Structure 1
Amino acid sequence: MHVLEDQDFRALVDNHPKAILLSTMDAHITYVNHRFRSLTGYRADEVIGKTPAILSSGMHSADFYQNMWQRLEHSGRWEGLIWNRRKSGENYPQWLTIYTVHCGARAFYVGVFMDVGELTANDERLAAMAYYDPLTELPNRTLFQEFLKARASQRKSVQNLFAVLYIDLDFFKSVNDLHGHDSGDRVLQQAAACIQGVLRKGDVVARLSGDEFAAIIELREEAELEPVCRRMNSVFQGPVVVGEHEYFLSASVGAAIFPRHAETAGDLLLKADRAMYSAKMAGRACYRVYSAEESEHGQHKRRISESLVASLKVSPEEFSVVYQPQYDLDSGRLVGLEALLRWQHPEFGAVSPAEFVPLAEQRGVIHELTEQLVRCIRRDLDSDTFIGKGDQRLAINISARQIADSRLEHLLDPFFEATRQAGWLPELEITETHLMNLSRRSLEQLRAFGDKGVTVAVDDFGTGYSSLAYLQTLPVHVLKIDRQFVSRLGPDRRDSRIVAAILAIADALDLEVIAEGIETELQKSRLQELNCHRGQGYLMARPSPLAGLSLADAEPSSNRTPA
C-alpha cells in the first residue's frame, strides 16, 4: 500500500470542492481529502486501509455493484447515483464518478462524489448544474432518473413499496402567453413549492421539463397513495399567488406503484406518464392510478391526437364536410343546413367528431380544424349546385376557445361574405356549457359577429347550467334543444315537460328553437304539439356531402325510415 507524499498534490486535492478518495486496484482506500471527511463524517484514519464498503448503505442489490465493477473493468469509468451512509448512520444520495488513474507502474481507482440530496455550498451548486434545474433548484430529469434507478435496484430486504407521481400543470401555457415568461418562471417556482409542500421528508421531487414534475413517494401500503394524489390536486384548487397577482392552474396527476405496475425505473416512469395522460383525457384537475386497460385507451387517444396534428399540417385531403338539413316541422320546407367536419384517417378510418374535436381543443389546434371546415365549405360554395334561396341559414360550429383568437375574425369574415354571395345566411353554433364561461372580450367579439348579421345559436341547450338572467344578456338568437331531451319524447306526456320548459324560456326571451336528433314520427308529432317549428334528425335527412344533398323541401316524413 502506498501513501501519497507529494505535498502539492495533497494541497490541490484537499481543496477540491468535491469529495475524493483513492484506492488500490484491490479496492483498499489509500487517501481521502478534506471534503470527504466533512461529507461522510469519517476521519482519514478510520477509512484508510479499509474498502469502500464501509460507506455502503446496504440499499443496493448485489447486481448493482456487479454491474458497476463490470463497467469499470470494461471502460475504466463508472458514473451514476448511489446511496451511501454517513458515519452517523444517515443514508444520503451521492453522485459518484469512479475512474482509473495510472501513476508510473501503479494504478489507482479515483472516486469523486458530491451529496446531491441537499446542496448549500456555492461550489457544490456550481458543480451540480448538470443535475439540477436552475429555476426551481429541484433535481432535473437526468438526476431524477438516477434516483429512480437507485430506488428500484435496492435490496429486496428493504421496504420496496413506493410510487412515482407524474404531475403536469394544466393551462400553464396561457400564463406565458398572457403574462410573459418572467411571470411564468415565478409561477413555476411557486408551483414547485406547492408540490413539495404536499410531499413528506424523504420523498423526492423533480422538474422534468417545462410544466412537468415527478416525485418518488415512499409507501407503507398502497392505500396511502390516493390521499397523496388528492392532496396534490387540492393544492392547486386555489390560485397560485405570486406577488400581488393570482394565477389559476390545475394539475393532472398520474401514479404508478413499484413493484405492482412495473419493476424497472424506466417502465415505472412511463406508466406514471400514461396515467397522467389518462387524467388529462378525463378532464384534467384530477388523478389516475395506472391501469392497463385505461392506459391502452389513453395510448389510443394519444396516437389519434398526434395523427390529428400531423394531418392538419400535411394531409388536408383527409378532411371533408357533410351537411345536416334543418326543416320547418309543419311544412317540410328546408330552412337551413348545419355543416359538419369529417376526418378519414388512413390508419384509424373514420374518426368521430366527438373524439377528434375535443382532442383538437386540448392540443391547441382547434383553429386549424376550423380552417379545414371553412376550406371544405368554400370549395362547395363555388359549386353551381350549392345555391341558397336567400332566407336559409348555413351553420358552422366553433369552439368557445377560439372566439377571443384574433385569427378567427380574419378567417370568418371572408367566409361569411362568400356564404351570403351564394345565397345563404351565416350562423355560428357554440355549445351551451362553453358559452356560459366566456370572457367579456369573447362576448364582445360574439356580439360583433351578431352586429354583422351573423345568427348565433346555443348548441346542446339543456346540458349546461345557464342562468336565465345571464342568458338574457347573451348575444344569441337560437336555442338548439339537445338530442337527449328529444329522444325522451314518447307516449307518456310527462316526457315532454323539459322540452316544453325550454320552448317557454325561448318564447320569453324571443329566441328561435331548433330540436335536434329527431328520429321517429312520434318525436316529431310531440314537437309539433309543443309548437316547436324547426328540427333536424335522421327522420328527415342524414348528414350528407354536397353530391348527395337535396336542397329541395323534405319528403313526407311517412316515407322516411327511422334510424
Structure 2
Amino acid sequence: MLTTRIKNTGREQRVEASMQSLSGQDFKALVDLHPKAIMLSGLDATIAYVNRQFEAVTGYQQEEIVGQTPSILSSGLHSREFYADMWRRLESEGRWEGLIWNRRKNGETYPQWLTIYPVEYEEGCFYTGVFMDVGELTANDERLAALAYYDPLTELPNRTLFQEFLKARASRRNYDKTCFAVLYIDLDFFKSVNDLHGHDYGDRVLKEAAASIQGVLREGDVVARLSGDEFAAIIELQDESELEAVCQRTTQAFRAPMVVDYREYFLSASVGAAIYPKHSDSAADLLLKADRAMYAAKTAGRACYRVYSAEESEQGQHQQILSEALVASLKTSPEEFSVVYQPQYDLSSGEMVGMEALIRWRHPKLGAVSPGEFVPLAEQRGLIHELTEQLVRCITADLDLHGVTGGDSMRLAINISARQIADGRLEDLLEPFFARLRQSGWVPELEITETHLMNLSRTCLDKLKDFGHKGVMVAIDDFGTGYSSLAYLHTLPVHVLKIDRQFVQRLGPERRDSRIVGAILGIAEALDLEVVAEGIETEAQRTRLQELNCHRGQGYLMARPLPLASLEVI
C-alpha cells in the first residue's frame, strides 16, 4: 500500500483513503519509472501522489506536495477563464491537453505540456496529470516526446507549440502592463536553394537561418519555425519604440551571404510585426496580422520589414486573392492566357531581327493583371512551370494559326525562371517547342534574370550549356542589377547580355549611366557576347546607344508588345 504521512490531520484522512485505492507495488513502479512527470489527484482536486520525475521538474518533494491542491504550482500567468475552459473541456471531452505555465518551488516559471485525464482504479477515480518541461530538451526520452512540439531540423518550437506559447503570453493581460510583438519572418528566394541545390543543402541553409534569427533576438524572446522557410517570434517590449531596432537587426542578419560548406547563398528576409495589445489582444489574430504585415514587406520589395497597418493589410489580402485566382486559372482556364510579342531591332540598320514573347493574363473578374504581379506569384506558389506551359502553348498556337516564319535568322525569346532549370519537366516541355520554332525558321532564345543565374549549380549550368550546343541562344536578362563577377561571367554558357532598362532610361552624353552602358559593351566585346538594350523610349536614348555601338534594342520607341497578327514579320 502506498502511504504518505502529512502533518495536517484533516488532509491525512483524505490522502490515506486515496492511497488505499492506489495499492499495488506494480502500479507504483509503473508511475515512478515513467519518463514524464505524473501527478494523481482525487476528485476533490487534492494531490494524492507524484512520481520521481515530478519532483525533478518542480523541485517539490512528495511529502511537501501530497495533500495540497494543484494551485500550489500556479504561475499566476493564466486568467480564470483559462482554467474554467480547461475544466469545461475535461468534463465534456474527458481529456485536456495543452501548454501551461507553472512555477517551480524556487519561484522560476516554466512552460510545460500537460495532459489531464480521469483514471478509474479499483473502484476509485483519479485525475492524472502527465507533463514535461518543454523549455529544456535534455533527457533522451523527453527529447523523443518533444518531437511533436519541436522542429527536428532547427530544434525550435513548431507551429503547434508556438501557438500555445502565444496564447499563454496573451492571457497574461490581467497581470502585467507590458506589451510584446509577434514577428513573422519569411526567407526570400529560399525555394531557389532547394530547387537548384537540393533539399540537403536547403536544410543546412535553414539551420543557419534559424541560428541567425536567434542570434539577433534577446534572451526571453521565443523563436519558432512555423513551416518551410517561415519563422515566428514573440518579442518582449518595454516600449513600442524598441520594435524598430529588433526588426532592423532581423533583416540585416541576412544582408551578408550565408556560407554552408564554403558555398555562399544570397537570401534576404521579409519581416512582419504586430503589437499586443495595440493591434489585437487575441493570439490568433496577432499572428494573422503579423503574417499580413510580412506580405506587405514582400510587396514593398522584400528584404525589409513592415509593422501591421490596415491599409497595407488590404494590399496583402489582394495578393492572396490574386494568388488563389492564378492557381485556379492555370488549372482550369487556359483561355485566360495569351502572348504578345515585342520586336527587337538592329540599332545600326533599323531592321527587325527578333522578338520577345511576353505572357499576359486576363481574369474575368480581376481584369488584365500585370505580369509584374502574377509572374512573381507563380514563382512563390511553385506554379512557374505551369505558367511556362501556357506560354509555350500560346506561342505554338499563334505560329500554327498565322503561319509566321522567322526566315532562319530571327530570334524568338522566352523568359524562364532559374529554378526551372533544375526541374526535369523543363526539357520535356522545351525540346518539342524548340523543334517547332526551328521548323518555322526561328532561332530559340532563353532569357534568365542575372541575379538568379549567379546562384545556379554546376549541374544547372551544364544543362544551359547543352541547350547552347543544340542551337539555343542563352541571354542574361536585367544585366547590371545582379552580382556578376568577370571571372564567373566568363564561365557562363551565355550568348547575350540584356542591359536593364533603368540604365537606358537615364542615358545622356554626360551621365554616369552612359559610362556604365559603355563598360557593359566593353565587357561584352571582350567575351564575344551580343548586347540588347531594353526599354528604349526616346530618340535620344536610341541615338546614344548607337553612338556606343550597342548591337540591338527594344522598347516603346520602336514598337510596343503586340499580338502576333499585328506584327509585320517575315
Give the shorter-chain TM-score range. 0.7 to 0.9
Give yes or no for the alignment of 1:369 onto 2:382.
no
Q: Report the CA distance between 1:152 and its aligned residue.
A: 0.7
Secondary structure of residue in 2 paired with 1:361: helix
Give yes or no for the alignment of 1:96 onto 2:114.
yes
Q: Report the CA distance between 1:303 and its aligned residue.
A: 3.6
Secondary structure of residue in 2 paired with 1:325: strand
Give yes or no for the alignment of 1:147 onto 2:192.
no
What's the counterpart of residue 352 of structure 1? Answer: 370
Partners of 2:456 and 2:201 lie apart in 1 by 24
Give yes or no for the alignment of 1:166 onto 2:177.
no
One-letter amino acid of the structure 1 residue matched with residue 522 of structure 2: I
CA distance change for structure 1 residues 71 and 402 in 2, over 3 Å: closer, same or farther?
Answer: closer
Contact 2:156–2:224 (8 Å) recurs in 1: yes
Q: Report the CA distance between 1:397 and its aligned residue.
A: 2.6
CA distance change for structure 1 residues 305 and 334 in 2, over 3 Å: closer, same or farther?
Answer: same
CA distance change for structure 1 residues 501 and 53 in 2, over 3 Å: closer, same or farther?
Answer: same
Q: Report the CA distance between 1:419 and its aligned residue.
A: 1.9
Partners of 1:507 and 1:235 lie apart in 2 by 35
What's the counterpart of residue 342 of structure 1? Answer: 360
What's the counterpart of residue 522 of structure 2? Answer: 505
CA distance change for structure 1 residues 185 and 507 in 2, over 3 Å: closer, same or farther?
Answer: closer
Deviation track 1:415-434 (CA, whole Å, cap 9, x = no partner) reads: 33322322333333344555
What's the counterpart of residue 398 of structure 1? Answer: 416
Partners of 1:239 and 1:506 lie apart in 2 by 29
Give yes or no for the alignment of 1:272 onto 2:259.
no
Partners of 1:247 and 1:330 lie apart in 2 by 41
Q: Report the CA distance between 1:378 and its aligned residue.
A: 1.5
Deviates more, 1:250-259 or 1:480-489: 480-489
Contact 1:81–1:94 (8 Å) recurs in 2: yes
Select the residue among 18, 26, 37 that pairs with 2:37: 18
What's the counterpart of residue 324 of structure 1? Answer: 342
What's the counterpart of residue 565 of structure 2? Answer: 547
CA distance change for structure 1 residues 213 and 472 in 2, over 3 Å: closer, same or farther?
Answer: closer
What's the counterpart of residue 55 of structure 1? Answer: 73
What's the counterpart of residue 80 of structure 1? Answer: 98
Partners of 2:208 and 2:515 lie apart in 1 by 47
CA distance change for structure 1 residues 547 and 259 in 2, over 3 Å: closer, same or farther?
Answer: same
Contact 2:296–2:312 (8 Å) recurs in 1: yes
Deviates more, 1:359-368 or 1:319-328: 359-368
CA distance change for structure 1 residues 190 and 480 in 2, over 3 Å: closer, same or farther?
Answer: closer
Deviates more, 1:102-111 or 1:533-542: 102-111
Contact 2:197–2:457 (8 Å) recurs in 1: no
Contact 1:58–1:155 (8 Å) recurs in 2: no
Partners of 2:210 and 2:523 lie apart in 1 by 49
May I ask how many residue pairs the two structures share in their alignment? 548
Q: Report the CA distance between 1:340 and its aligned residue.
A: 1.3
Superposition pairs for residues 338-487 of structure 1, below 5 Å? 338-403=356-421, 405=423, 407-435=425-453, 441-464=459-482, 476-487=494-505
Deviation track 1:417-458 (CA, whole Å, cap 9, x = no partner) reads: 322322333333344555555555555544544444444444
Partners of 2:212 and 2:533 lie apart in 1 by 48
Q: Report the CA distance between 1:381 and its aligned residue.
A: 1.9
Contact 1:94–1:114 (8 Å) recurs in 2: yes
CA distance change for structure 1 residues 159 and 120 in 2, over 3 Å: closer, same or farther?
Answer: farther
Secondary structure of residue in 2 paired with 1:544: coil
CA distance change for structure 1 residues 542 and 180 in 2, over 3 Å: closer, same or farther?
Answer: closer
What's the counterpart of residue 233 of structure 2? Answer: 215
What's the counterpart of residue 133 of structure 2? Answer: 115
RMSD: 4.1
What's the counterpart of residue 224 of structure 1? Answer: 242
Secondary structure of residue in 1 paired with 2:443: strand
Deviates more, 1:13-22 or 1:318-327: 13-22
Q: Report the CA distance between 1:215 and its aligned residue.
A: 3.0
Secondary structure of residue in 1 paired with 2:226: strand
Superposition pairs for residues 514-553 of structure 1, below 5 Å? 514-520=532-538, 523=541, 534-551=552-569
CA distance change for structure 1 residues 498 and 296 in 2, over 3 Å: closer, same or farther?
Answer: farther
**Percent sequence identity over matched residues?**
70
Secondary structure of residue in 2 paired with 1:263: coil
Q: Report the CA distance between 1:45 and its aligned residue.
A: 4.9
Contact 2:208–2:258 (8 Å) recurs in 1: no
CA distance change for structure 1 residues 42 and 440 in 2, over 3 Å: closer, same or farther?
Answer: closer
Where structure 1 has 5 or more consecutive residues not aligned to the other structure, the ranges are 553-563
Q: Report the CA distance between 1:484 and its aligned residue.
A: 3.9
Q: Report the CA distance between 1:93 and its aligned residue.
A: 1.8
What's the counterpart of residue 57 of structure 2? Answer: 39
Q: Report the CA distance between 1:153 and its aligned residue.
A: 0.5
Q: Report the CA distance between 1:22 and its aligned residue.
A: 0.9
What's the counterpart of residue 8 of structure 2? Answer: none
What's the counterpart of residue 560 of structure 1? Answer: none
Contact 1:21–1:33 (8 Å) recurs in 2: no
Q: Report the CA distance between 1:61 and its aligned residue.
A: 1.9
Q: Report the CA distance between 1:321 and its aligned residue.
A: 0.9
What's the counterpart of residue 290 of structure 1? Answer: 308
